[in-house]
Homo-oligomer: A and B are copies of this chain.
Amino acid sequence: MVFWKKLFTANTENVATSEATEFNGEVLKLNGSATTAETEIVFSTDRDIDLYELEELCDLVGWARRPLRKVKKAIQHSFLVVSMWEIKGKRRRLIGFARATSDHAFNATIWDVVVDPRYQNRGLGKAMMKYTIQKLRSADISNITLFADPQVVDFYRRLGFMVDPEGIKGMFWYPD
Contact = CB atoms under 8 A, between A and B. Distances in A.
Q: How many copies does the complex hold?
A: 2
Interface in A130-165: 133, 137, 142-150, 153, 156-157, 159-165
Number of contact residues on A: which range applies?
A: 35 or more
| Chain A interface helix/strand/loop/mixed | mixed
A104 interface: yes
Given A66-B106, A104-B74, A107-B111, A160 B148 contact: no
A168 B172 contact: yes
Nearest to A70: B105
Given A77-B102, A105-B71, A148 B168 contact: yes
Interface of A: 66, 70-71, 73-79, 99, 101-107, 109, 111, 133, 137, 142-150, 153, 156-157, 159-175
Given A101-B103, A148-B168, 4 more contacts: A76-B104, A147-B168, A147-B169, A162-B171
